[in-house]
């Protein structure tokens, strides 16, 4: 129960706990099963939802490098590294948030309505990263709000993964974001409680297993 409470109501601390193999495997199993469940639910009871990117013609090992290494590193730096204050955390958080903003503007094939939503989430995230450094008292006082900004932004930005034809109904929006928001909760808890490297490893392992299932 303490883990559940910590996931939904985090508290800021300077240090991190040592993570056991048992806890890591438990968090991985929960995140994996929930991801598979929601993917099955969306694909079979809502609609078939292909990726917006489609077949980009890259090899498996290039895809593996991107999905398992580059994407988790960028996303963890952007959405969760700054949840622990520090000069390096702030610098990498700002750079990653800027990269996210540019990606939303120039690389996303999402329809304009979703693009606006993604941009809004990116801007709010960028301001949150700035506040974590420039307004430390405000950041610590409202830490739970900043924590949820990172989680919701993580979910909304991933709406850009889907094609325009499957994002026309407003009822579909929250359903598509839910799996990423749940994953964001688990990644966020892991980062805040056990440290950045464990959150990164958990994210990479989840991406790897989901990639192998495709």
Task: Show Cβ contacts of residue 19 under 8 Å, excluding neighbours closer than 6 positions.
Answer: 190, 194, 195, 198
Residue 6 lies in a domain: no
**How large a percentage of the chain has pLDDT more than 70?**
82
Q: Number of structural domains, the chain?
A: 1
Q: Rounded CA gap, 81 and 133, in Å?
A: 12
Q: Is position 149 within any domain?
A: yes
Residue 21 included in any domain: yes
Smallest CA-to-CA distance from 188 within 196, 177, 207 is with: 196
The residue-averaged pLDDT of 174-187 equals 88
Q: For residue 7, is it within any domain?
A: no
Residue 86 located in a structural domain: yes
In a domain, 30, yes or no: yes
Give me the pLDDT at residue 53, please.
46
- Structural domain includes residue 8: no
Residue 76 lies in domain: 17-48+56-213
């Amino acid at each position: 129960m303490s883990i559940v409470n910590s996931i939904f109501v985090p508290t800021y601390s300077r240090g991190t706990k040592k993570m056991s193999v048992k806890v890591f495997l438990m968090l991985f199993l929960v995140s994996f099963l929930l991801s598979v469940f929601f993917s099955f639910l969306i694909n079979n009871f809502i609609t078939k939802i292909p990726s917006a990117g489609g077949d980009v013609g890259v090899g498996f090992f290039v895809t593996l490098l991107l999905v398992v290494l580059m994407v988790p590193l960028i996303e963890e730096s952007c959405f969760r590294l700054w949840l622990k204050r520090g000069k390096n955390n702030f610098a990498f958080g700002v750079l990653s948030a800027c990269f996210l903003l540019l990606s939303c503007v120039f690389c996303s094939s999402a329809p304009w309505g979703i693009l606006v939503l993604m941009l809004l989430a990116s801007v709010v995230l960028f301001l949150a990263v700035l506040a974590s450094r420039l307004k430390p008292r405000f950041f610590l006082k409202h830490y739970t709000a900043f924590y949820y900004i990172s989680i919701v932004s993580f979910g909304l930005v991933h709406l850009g993964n889907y094609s325009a034809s499957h994002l026309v109904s407003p009822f579909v929006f929250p359903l598509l974001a839910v799996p990423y928001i749940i994953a964001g909760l688990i990644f966020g808890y892991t980062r805040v409680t056990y440290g950045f490297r464990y959150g990164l490893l958990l994210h990479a392992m989840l991406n790897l297993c989901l990639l192998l299932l495709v």
